[in-house]
């Protein structure tokens, strides 16, 4: 029986990005002809032997007069495949219960246990209204809604920007609030209790609230250089555990313990996080360099550095080729364990490799063609590799993605 279930933590986190960090075009560069600008893309992302995602997205922008604009974005996100359930590989085959408790799945000896029942589709809609407050001040109000089989989210956001120094400097402040509800298959398991068909459950559902604040300064340096510096502070409170993930418990001799060898994970119910972000855009004749750095830290003791660089080579005035590179390194959460050991249990524990010491390296190429009449077609191809950066030696994740974009006005 194919069970419909999603990677809830992934979805929970993904929704938060749609509010403040919407990335929808806010520049003064719309066609301004009282027409529509459409930007669309489809992403195909695939991890070797694991999950695959197909994600079409379309965004629309309309000039509604008097320097007011409406922005809409709709995205569909369809996920299939299998994902690590948090248990470690052992020298013998293992059997796990599915979240509904209705069936089991097995993993062969010496293989990383993967839950094969991932299959879900999510839809999300984001709308924004951009309005001038006076000649040098602008506000953007947004709302977003997202839904999938076991997860729903609603959110609102507000941003205000002020221009000064002859519009060479822009100060922006923003706030966003998101409320999420999760109704996992089989109910919410009680953290750090045994995985079983009749699991201990805290009830049918749970929720989470996310607040984000941002303050940023953008500065024109010269005719061809722009720089931005942002500080983002956020708090998450509520249910943040992945209800479908477990930890293996080993005995004193390094084997799975006899009773209750698998426990559901348990994460704290609050998280306070900060991100410092710097970005520069520099033009070199018709080429453009895009460079950014982010330092992130939170009270789960996760901290990370992200460096991203893109260089757009202009190939004549009709097309371009842009190599892109990203490097990310993360320090693990203070409740991350590769596996637990029989004895006193910690208050919080998770074996989700995404909380571990890790590095992500990405290399991509984007090729774009100007089709005339303010339209552009582009294709982007990339490879991402994730590997353990510490003692915990989870398996590498290798992913490839292909993205097609089309932008036009009408």
Partner 1 sequence: MRVFSIFILSILLGLSVHASPITSIPLKTDNGNIKLSDFNGTVIYLDFWASWCIPCRKSFPWMNDIQKKFGNKGFKVIAVNLDEEHNKAKAFLDKIPANFTIAYDPDGVSATAFKVKGMPSSYLIDRTGNIISSHIGFREKEIPTMENKIKLLLKK
Partner 2 sequence: MKSYVSILLILITLMSGCSSWGVQPWERNKLAEKKMQLEPAPLDSYLDAHIYYSKESSSGGAGVGGGGCGCN
Binding interface with partner 1 (CB under 8 A): 28-30, 32-33, 65-67, 135, 166-167
CB 361 within 8 A of CB 389: no
Q: Which is nearer to partner 1, 29 or 222 (CB)?
A: 29
Q: Which of residues 50-89 bind partner 2 (CB under 8 A)?
A: 55, 57, 59, 67, 73, 75, 77
**Residue 370 binds which of partner 2, partner 1, none (CB < 5-8 A, kind-dependent):** none
Is 209 an interacting residue with respect to partner 2 (CB under 8 A)? no
Rounded to the nearest 5°, which phi and psi values hold at 9? -65, -40
Residues in Cβ contact with 381 at an 8 Å cutoff, skipping those fewer than 6 apart = 364, 365, 366, 400, 401, 402, 403
Q: Which is nearer to partner 2, 88 or 240 (CB)?
A: 240
Question: Which of residues 3, 4, 14, 36 is near partner 2 by CB under 8 A?
Answer: 14
SS3 content of the chain, % helix, strand, coil (to 5): 5, 65, 35
Q: At closest approach, how far in Å is the CB of 110 from partner 2?
A: 24
**Residue 196 binds which of partner 1, partner 2, none (CB < 5-8 A, kind-dependent):** none
Q: At closest approach, how far in Å is the CB of 215 from partner 2?
A: 7
Q: Which is nearer to partner 2, 257 or 273 (CB)?
A: 273
Is 230 an interacting residue with respect to partner 2 (CB under 8 A)? yes
What is the CA angle 374-377-381, rounded to 5? 145
Q: At closest approach, how far in Å is the CB of 73 from partner 1?
A: 22
Q: At closest approach, how far in Å is the CB of 173 from partner 1?
A: 23
CB 303 within 8 A of CB 285: no
CB 287 within 8 A of CB 302: no
Looking at 52-180, list the stretches that DSSP marks H as alpha helix, in order from N- to C-terminal side: none
DSSP assignments along 89-112, one per residue: P-SS-EEEE-TTSS-EEEE-TTS-
Q: Which of residues 247-276 bind partner 2 (CB under 8 A)?
A: 273-276
Closest among 33, 93, 100 to 69, alpha carbons compared: 33
Q: Which of residues 287-306 bind partner 2 (CB under 8 A)?
A: 288, 290, 292, 294, 296, 300, 302, 304, 306
CB atoms within 10 A of CB 273: 17
Question: Which of residues 197, 215, 315, 381 is near partner 2 by CB under 8 A?
Answer: 215
Q: Which of residues 165-194 bind partner 2 (CB under 8 A)?
A: 165-172, 174
Q: Which of residues 16-55 bind partner 2 (CB under 8 A)?
A: 16-17, 20-29, 39-41, 43, 45, 55
Q: At closest approach, how far in Å is the CB of 32 from partner 1?
A: 4
Question: Which of residues 88, 195, 214, 256 is near partner 2 by CB under 8 A?
Answer: 214
Which string of b and e fits 20-52 if b means at least 16 CB within 10 Å? bebebbbeeebeeeeebbbbebebebbbeebbe
Work out the burial of residue 405: count CB atoms within 10 Å of its CB; fewer than 13 is exposed, 13-18 middle, 19 or more buried: middle
Q: At closest approach, how far in Å is the CB of 31 from partner 1?
A: 8
């Amino acid at each position: 029986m194919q069970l419909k279930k999603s990677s809830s933590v992934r979805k929970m986190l993904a929704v938060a990005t749609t509010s403040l960090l919407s990335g929808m075009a806010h520049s003064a560069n719309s066609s301004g002809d009282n027409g529509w600008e459409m930007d669309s893309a489809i992403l195909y992302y695939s991890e070797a032997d694991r999950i695959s995602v197909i994600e079409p997205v379309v965004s629309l922008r309309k000039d509604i007069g008097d320097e007011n604009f409406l922005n809409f974005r709709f995205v569909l996100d369809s996920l299939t495949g299998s994902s690590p359930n948090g248990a470690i590989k052992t020298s013998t085959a293992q059997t796990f219960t599915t979240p509904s408790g209705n069936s089991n799945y097995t993993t062969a000896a010496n293989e990383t246990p993967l839950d094969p029942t991932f299959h879900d589709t999510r839809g999300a809609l984001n709308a924004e209204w951009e309005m001038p407050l006076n000649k040098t001040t602008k506000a953007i109000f947004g709302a977003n809604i997202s839904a999938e089989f076991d997860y729903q989210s609603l959110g609102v956001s507000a941003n205000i920007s002020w221009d000064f120094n002859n519009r060479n400097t822009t100060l922006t402040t923003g706030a966003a609030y998101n409320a999420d509800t999760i109704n996992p298959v089989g109910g919410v398991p009680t953290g750090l209790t045994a995985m079983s068909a009749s699991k201990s459950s805290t009830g049918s559902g749970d929720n989470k609230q996310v607040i984000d604040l941002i303050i940023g300064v953008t500065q024109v340096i010269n005719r061809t250089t722009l720089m931005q510096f942002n500080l983002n502070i956020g708090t998450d409170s509520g249910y943040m555990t992945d209800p479908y993930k477990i930890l293996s418990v080993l005995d004193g001799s390094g084997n799975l313990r006899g009773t209750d060898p698998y426990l559901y994970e348990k994460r704290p119910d609050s998280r306070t996080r900060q991100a410092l972000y710097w970005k520069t855009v520099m033009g070199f004749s018709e080429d453009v360099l895009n460079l950014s750095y982010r330092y992130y830290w939170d009270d789960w003791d996760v901290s990370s550095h992200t460096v991203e660089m893109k260089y757009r080579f202009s190939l004549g005035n009709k097309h371009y080729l842009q190599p892109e590179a990203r490097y990310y390194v993360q320090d693990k959460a203070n409740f991350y364990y590769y596996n637990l050991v029989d004895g006193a249990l910690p208050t919080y524990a998770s074996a989700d490799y995404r909380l571990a010491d890790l590095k992500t390296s990405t290399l991509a190429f984007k090729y774009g063609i100007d089709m005339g009449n303010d339209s552009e077609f582009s294709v982007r191809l990339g490879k991402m590799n994730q590997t353990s950066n510490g003692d915990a030696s989870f398996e590498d994740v290798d992913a490839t993605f292909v993205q097609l974009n089309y932008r036009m006005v009408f």
